[in-house]
């Protein structure tokens, strides 16, 4: 018998389920978007489903996004939702293993390492990394390449060369890449639910965490011993920071925050790069337009890329914006309810202990906001004037445009937990994509466009992702 245990009459409607404890876990993990769509038709924008003994109240639509992203600190907690997953990987004292006001300050510390001056220095380094990487592909005759693998390796190489510091990049080919993989294996959806299981991957993860921290610590110690002060990378910006109340941000805190940033930027950017190139492979006219744009902006396809020139590559920007609209790597954002909370405009009271979930992809593919919403059309963005209220809100980590949480496209989230890596991600993606396109033409194989794999922490294309490539004359 399908269960519907709704003792509280003001609780939002619940999706019935057949298997106790597991609840809707299977239907949800096969295709969360279909699951949301089907149930939205029955219950409206706000409903609760059970998964592995926990209740999730999803809040769809513009108002749902706004409700979750701007929920009050006294009502909901991001730490309570993400901590079991993130603390063993990142380490203690940072991100979700500290009070929210400390996270807000950590986000401010990080902003120093993402200035325009830093980006000016990063772009030539990223271009060089990309060129060197793709020399490995067959640049005489072309062939078939594993795009997902390439983007994964390239994003970690470019991020470590720039944000993480050259010392980390130098270790990438030997120790860091393997440590990263071990950490990553311990950063899967299953870890949110079964943190107590004695899985071998947890031992590898814990071991990798300690080794990774030691590597960062050694780099910091060497920089201190040599009085290094001329570095523009993020690691340098995290040294000698102090919280407003005088508490020092220690070197170990800096190591943990560096690991967090490595993890936060890796899959998000590498899957976005992969999807973007797949969409381009499917739309050769866009590749031609992008190369024309590069010629227009730089004068020639041989001219080196610069951060300032890339600002004028509007179509390239829009390709990334459109990729993130259709294929955002994060499709569920969670907060745990710590005090019963009323959902505006309804009688619903969401009980303490539930998780509230936002899924901005729902509005991103909604015809109400985007005509022909399922089509990949970067040009649509030149006609969309993003709503500017003029008002700004300071959530504690710097001012951001007000009304942000009601924008139908929110791949970087909104509110106090909004992403701080957006501008870095754009610089990195634009450099990698434009450099790749100058070197190679690409097209889909006979397998066509891969579908999404929802079982991973960050939605990625179903593997393997191969493309045909041919050197550009």
Residue ranges in contact with ligand HEM by CB under 6 A: 78, 103, 163, 261, 264-265, 268-269, 272, 324, 328-330, 333, 411-413, 417, 419-421, 424-425
Question: Taking CB positions, which residue lies at the least distance from ligand HEM?
Answer: 421
**Comparison of 103 and 467: residue with beta carbon closer to ligand HEM:** 103
State the pairing for strand pair 399-401/333-337. Answer: unpaired
* Length reported for the chain: 473
CB-neighbour burial class of residue 207 (10 A; exposed 0-12, middle 13-18, buried 19+): middle
**Comparison of 88 and 413: residue with beta carbon closer to ligand HEM:** 413
Q: Which two tokens stand for residue 288?
A: 């031609």
Cβ–Cβ under 8 Å, residues 47 and 15: yes
Dihedral angle, C-alpha 329, 331, 336, 339, nearest 10 °: 130
**Comparison of 55 and 325: residue with beta carbon closer to ligand HEM:** 325
To ligand HEM, the closest distance from the beta carbon of 297 in angstroms equals 22
To ligand HEM, the closest distance from the beta carbon of 97 in angstroms equals 12
Return d(Cα 290, Cα 306) in angstroms, integer. 16
**Comparison of 294 and 359: residue with beta carbon closer to ligand HEM:** 359
Per-residue DSSP letters for 77-114? EHHHHHHHHHHHHH-TTSTTSS-HHHHHHHHHHHHGGG
Return d(Cα 281, Cα 442) in angstroms, integer. 6
**Comparison of 177 and 199: residue with beta carbon closer to ligand HEM:** 177
The C-alpha angle 207, 80, 356, rounded to 5 degrees, equals 130
Per-residue DSSP letters for 284-327? HHHHHHHHHHHHHHHSSTTSPP-HHHHTT-HHHHHHHHHHHHHS
Side-chain half-sphere CA neighbours of 146 within 13 A: 10
**467: three-class secondary structure by DSSP:** strand
**Comparison of 186 and 265: residue with beta carbon closer to ligand HEM:** 265
**Comparison of 272 and 435: residue with beta carbon closer to ligand HEM:** 272
């Amino acid at each position: 018998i399908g269960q519907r245990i709704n003792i509280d009459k003001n609780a939002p409607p619940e999706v019935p389920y057949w298997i106790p404890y597991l609840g809707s876990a299977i239907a949800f993990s096969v295709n969360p978007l279909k699951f949301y769509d089907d149930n939205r038709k029955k219950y409206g924008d706000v409903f609760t489903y059970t998964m592995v003994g926990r209740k999730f109240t999803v809040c769809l639509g513009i108002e749902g996004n706004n409700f979750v992203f701007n929920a009050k600190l006294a009502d909901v907690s991001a730490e309570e939702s993400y901590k079991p997953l993130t603390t063993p990987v990142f380490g203690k004292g940072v991100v979700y293993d500290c009070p929210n006001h400390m996270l807000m300050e950590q986000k401010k510390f990080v902003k120093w390492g993402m200035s325009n001056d830093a980006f000016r220095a990063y772009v030539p380094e990223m271009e060089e990394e990309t060129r060197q990487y793709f020399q490995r592909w067959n640049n005489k005759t072309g062939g078939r390449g594993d795009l997902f693998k390439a983007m994964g390796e390239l994003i970690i190489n470019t991020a470590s060369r720039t944000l993480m510091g050259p010392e980390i990049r130098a270790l990438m080919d030997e120790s860091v890449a393997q440590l990263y993989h071990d950490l990553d294996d311990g950063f899967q959806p299953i870890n949110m639910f079964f943190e107590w299981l004695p899985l071998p991957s947890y031992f590898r993860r814990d071991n990798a965490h300690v080794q990774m921290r030691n590597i960062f610590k050694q780099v910091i110690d060497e920089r201190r011993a040599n009085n290094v002060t001329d570095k523009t990378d993020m690691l340098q910006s995290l040294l000698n920071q102090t919280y407003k109340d005088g508490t020092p941000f220690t070197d170990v805190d800096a190591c943990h925050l560096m690991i967090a940033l490595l993890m936060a930027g890796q899959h998000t950017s590498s899957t976005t790069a992969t999807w973007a190139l797949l969409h381009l492979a499917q739309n050769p006219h866009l590749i031609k337009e992008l190369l024309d744009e590069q010629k227009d902006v730089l004068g020639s396809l041989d001219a080196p890329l610069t951060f300032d020139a890339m600002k004028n590559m509007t179509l390239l920007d829009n390709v990334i914006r459109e990729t993130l609209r259709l294929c955002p790597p994060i499709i569920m954002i969670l907060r745990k309810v710590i005090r019963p909370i009323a959902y505006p405009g309804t009688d619903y009271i969401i009980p303490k202990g539930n998780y509230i979930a936002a899924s901005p992809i729902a509005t991103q593919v909604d015809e109400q906001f985007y005509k022909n919403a399922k089509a990949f059309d970067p040009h649509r963005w030149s006609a969309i004037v993003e709503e500017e209220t003029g008002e700004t809100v300071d959530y504690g980590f710097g001012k951001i445009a007000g009304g942000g949480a009601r924008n139908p496209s929110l791949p970087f989230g909104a509110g106090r937990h909004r992403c701080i890596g957006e501008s870095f991600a754009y610089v990195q993606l634009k450099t990698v994509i434009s450099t790749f396109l100058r070197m190679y033409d690409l097209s889909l194989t006979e397998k066509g466009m891969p579908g999404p794999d929802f079982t991973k922490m960050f939605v990625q294309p179903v593997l393997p992702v191969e493309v045909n490539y041919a050197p550009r004359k």
